[in-house]
Amino acid sequence: MYTQMEFLACTASHILEDKKTVMVGTGLPMIAAMLAQKTHAPNLTMIFEAGGVGPLPPVLPVSVGESRTFYKALQAGSMHSVMSNGQAGLIDYGFIGGAQIDVYGNLNSTVIGNWKNPKIRFPGSGGANDIGSWAWRTVIIMKQNKRKFVKELDFLTTPGYLTGPKAREKAGLPYGTGPYRVITQLAVYGFDDETKKMKLVSLHPGVTIDEIKENSSFDILIPEKIETTKEPTEKEIEILHKLDPQGIFLRK
């Protein structure tokens, strides 16, 4: 058996490809990338927001700025240098999250409510805008419910496909970049090539179409053929626990 966190870590790991670069954040993105390195993507290059490029941390770092994010690294740079790599088109995958997402993959991680007098104010976007603007494929990991999957964002922090087809390019963002996958506790989503609207890719085991509809305030495109998300293997679970022996992430 496996926990929900173990399942999500493995699901995120399966998306990453060998010989690619990925900018990872604290927690699930970090351990997913490390798992990918230990399994199907040994030549995956991890990039950390604090400046570590290509490290090989033996166990899970506590944060993106911890010393292990520079362990056996190819480069010990800075936030400026790694964000410049993104602007130069050198980031294949970027992992981010958010408090709200809409049908085009636009994200809010700034405020809930009115910006001048919000109900909730979050710490800020961090590098989320940069990553979502420049990474070739943005992978979004977040909980799914009607308060998070919304028809209209309270604030636009990170651009997805903005208002639809060609909107990113009109805004000056590189052609071919944008949200690629959304991973939630219920399913994995992608985006339709023509409309750029969110589309179901696979349902997690035991989840129904009705459940994903009940947990979204906008209509999600449903394909004729519905896949089931691949379950973790015993080997993957074993590797996860070796990467996170103290349960910093896996106990959440």
Range of weakest confidence among 1-10, 57-66, 230-239: 57-66
Predicted pLDDT at 252: 67
pLDDT > 70 fraction of the chain, expressed in percent and rounded: 100
Region(s) of the chain under CATH 3.40.1080.10: 1-91+231-252, 97-130+142-175+182-221
- Residue 221 CB: number of other CB atoms within 10 A? 14
Predicted pLDDT at 230: 97
The mean pLDDT of 101-112, rounded to a whole number, is 97
The mean pLDDT of 201-219, rounded to a whole number, is 98
Predicted pLDDT at 124: 72
Residues serving a catalytic function are: 49
Give the model's confidence band at 84: pLDDT under 50 very low, under 70 low, under 90 confident, else very high: very high
Residues 97-130+142-175+182-221, CATH architecture: 3-Layer(aba) Sandwich (3.40)
Give the model's confidence band at 25: pLDDT under 50 very low, under 70 low, under 90 confident, else very high: confident
Q: What is the pLDDT of residues 231-252, one digit of tens each?
A: 999 999 999 999 999 888 887 6
Top-level class of domain 1-91+231-252: alpha beta
Predicted pLDDT at 6: 95
Whether residue 51 is predicted with pLDDT greater than 90 in this model: the reply is yes
**SS (HEC) of the chain:** CCCHHHHHHHHHHHHCCCCCEEEECCCHHHHHHHHHHHCCCCCCEEEECCCEECCCCCCCCCCCCCHHHHCCCCEECCHHHHHHHHHCCCCCEEEECCCEECCCCCEECCEEECCCCEEEECCCCCCHHHHHHHCCEEEEECCCCCCCECCCCCCCCECCCCCCCCHHHHCCCCCCCCEEEEECCCEEEEECCCCCCEEEEEECCCCCHHHHHHCCCCCCECCCCCEECCCCCHHHHHHHHHHCCCCCCCCC
Range of weakest confidence among 73-87, 112-126, 145-159, 187-201: 112-126
The mean pLDDT of 101-119, rounded to a whole number, is 94
Q: What is the pLDDT of residues 141-196, one digit of tens each?
A: 999 999 999 999 999 999 999 999 999 999 999 999 999 999 999 999 999 999 99
Its sign, for the CA torsion 77, 142, 17, 86, is: negative
